Amino acid sequence: MKHSSTLITRSSNQLLGSREAAAVLGVKLPTLYAYVSRGLLRSRPGSGGRARVYARAEVEALRQKARGERGAEAAGALRWGEPVLASSITAMTAEGPLYRGEPALALARRDVPFESVAELLWTGTLPESSPRFAAQQGGPDLARLARALPAGASFSAWQVAVVAMLAPHDPGRFDLSRGAVLPRGRSLIRWLAAALAFATDPRRAAASLRAETVAQGVATALGVRPDPAKLRAIDRMLTLMADHELNASTFAARVAASAQADPHACILAGLCTLSGPLHGGASDRVEALLAQIERPADAARIVHERERRGERVPGFGHGFYRDEDPRARMLLETARAVGGRARGVREIEAVIETMTESGRPGPNVDTGAVALRCALGMPGGCVAGIFAVGRCAGWIAHVVEQAESGELLRPRARFEPRAV
């Protein structure tokens, strides 16, 4: 009996390396590290302090808990829970996302061109000089394309239509290798920027496609005079929107890629998901709030009326950031610098002041982006479209990563009979 007890003690005190611990848990290394970061498992310095080790007893206890709660944890993982797949693209931190280890906010503050940020997400290397993105040749006729949708169609609807019409003009799109997908990604970003023109003035689309940079293409499509300060501001917005880990639209694009859908179809999956009011379309709700405010002094009354009715004030709070969305902070700072006197910027500042006094969550990226839209003199309702231009860089990165994994994303549902 004593001999058996000794064996148990030795086994309990055994230390495991990272790969051994991951094997016991049946997870990949990134998931193991996520357990540690969330306080679910402790790691200790190994011999010489060079590698981390884990107590087998604690690893076994976590495995038993995971087995007992597997169904609940799997369901919770789809709602800001535990990581559901491994990715080397973006890491989430309280200070904002890290793109391949580079802080997104630092890239934006250094005014790194958006094209370079996209290449970083795709290749893991930040180019020394800004690359040129060109639209594919032989696409749909612009004049015919301009008649595809009825007057008043949204910026997002135009982007969906343009990508859908581009696909048949690209017979080689079914090649899912990295070397084939990345050129198409560069082209799709340029077309998404040019598609913004169709919602207001289709004549700007051709000039947008010819512009030197993506930021110039966005400015041209939206009728903004592309001076250096404004172009830097647009680059910042695109960079801060480029990726945000497994948000709804990115996950949708990855699901499509896992089924080996072509890049155009994957981007369409992302675009359609982004249009929802709980995702990219949230900026339209912020715009609707601004439409209620005739002058900054009205902001407090409008906010308090919404709270009295039990309505949520759009553009505030975020599922990941506890205090405030750091991307919003930089976008608001940029808005003040390029057009702080614009009416919309002053109205948003008044709303933020009221929310802060009420102890409410801070502004998120949607509020910051709408403020910058106002500062730049862009047409209302275009933020979701700009969001899509920037996020396309992340979608392409995730599409390539998912396709190279060779795995089909097919989660299970927990059947629960309910009355209909």
**Contact yes or no for 121/112 (Cβ under 8 A):** no
Task: Tell me: do 176 and 253 sit in the same domain.
Answer: yes
Backbone conformation region of residue 315, classed left if phi is above 0, alpha if psi is from -120 to 50, else beta? left
Task: Tell me: do 211 and 350 sit in the same domain.
Answer: yes
How far is the C-alpha of 255 from the C-alpha of 140, rounded, in Å?
27
Residue 26 lies in a domain: yes
How far is the C-alpha of 365 from the C-alpha of 143, rounded, in Å?
35
How far is the C-alpha of 155 from the C-alpha of 198, rounded, in Å?
8
The residue among 239, 231, 268, 238 whose CA lies nearest residue 253 is 268
Residue 400 lies in a domain: yes
Report the pLDDT value the prediction gives residue 75, as an integer from 0 to 100.
62
Give the pLDDT means over successive 10-residue stretches in the chain (420 positions): 40 77 86 80 74 87 70 65 86 96 97 98 96 89 92 96 95 95 97 97 96 98 95 98 97 97 98 96 95 92 91 92 92 97 96 92 96 98 98 98 95 82
Report the pLDDT value the prediction gives residue 3, as an integer from 0 to 100.
44
Q: Considering just the CA atoms, what is the radius of gyration of the chain in Å?
A: 24
Task: Tell me: do 19 and 114 sit in the same domain.
Answer: no
How far is the C-alpha of 339 from the C-alpha of 341, rounded, in Å?
5
Q: Rounded to the nearest 5 degrees, what angle is found at the Cα of 130, between the Cα atoms of 126 and 136?
A: 110
Task: Tell me: do 63 and 100 sit in the same domain.
Answer: no
Task: Tell me: do 374 and 420 sit in the same domain.
Answer: yes
Number of domains the chain contains: 2
Residue 303 lies in a domain: yes
Task: Tell me: do 116 and 62 sit in the same domain.
Answer: no
* Owner of token pair 């496609």: 209
Sheet containing strand 15-17, strands side by side: 15-17, 52-55, 44-45
The residue among 253, 215, 195 whose CA lies nearest residue 382 is 195
Residue 44 lies in a domain: no
Task: Tell me: do 147 and 174 sit in the same domain.
Answer: yes
How far is the C-alpha of 222 from the C-alpha of 245, rounded, in Å?
28
Task: Tell me: do 217 and 311 sit in the same domain.
Answer: yes
How many residues comprise the chain? 420
Sorted by sequence, the CB contacts under 8 Å of residue 234 that are 6+ apart come out as 215, 218, 219, 224, 376, 386
Residue 269 lies in a domain: yes
Task: Tell me: do 11 and 141 sit in the same domain.
Answer: no
Task: Tell me: do 322 and 284 sit in the same domain.
Answer: yes
Alpha helix (H) ranges present in 102-213? Answer: 104-109, 114-123, 142-145, 155-166, 178-195, 204-210
How far is the C-alpha of 41 from the C-alpha of 56, rounded, in Å?
11
Looking up residue 140, the CATH number of its domain turns out to be: 1.10.580.10
Residue 202 lies in a domain: yes
Report the pLDDT value the prediction gives residue 71, as an integer from 0 to 100.
52
Report the pLDDT value the prediction gives residue 260, as an integer from 0 to 100.
97
Task: Tell me: do 253 and 388 sit in the same domain.
Answer: yes
> 3-state class of 363 per DSSP?
strand
Active site residues: 318, 366
The residue among 330, 269, 326, 332 whose CA lies nearest residue 97 is 326
Task: Tell me: do 398 and 313 sit in the same domain.
Answer: yes
Residue 13 structural domain: 2-38+53-68
Residue 90 lies in a domain: yes
Residue 361 lies in a domain: yes
In Å, what is the CA distance from 251 to each residue of 92, 100, 274? 15, 18, 11
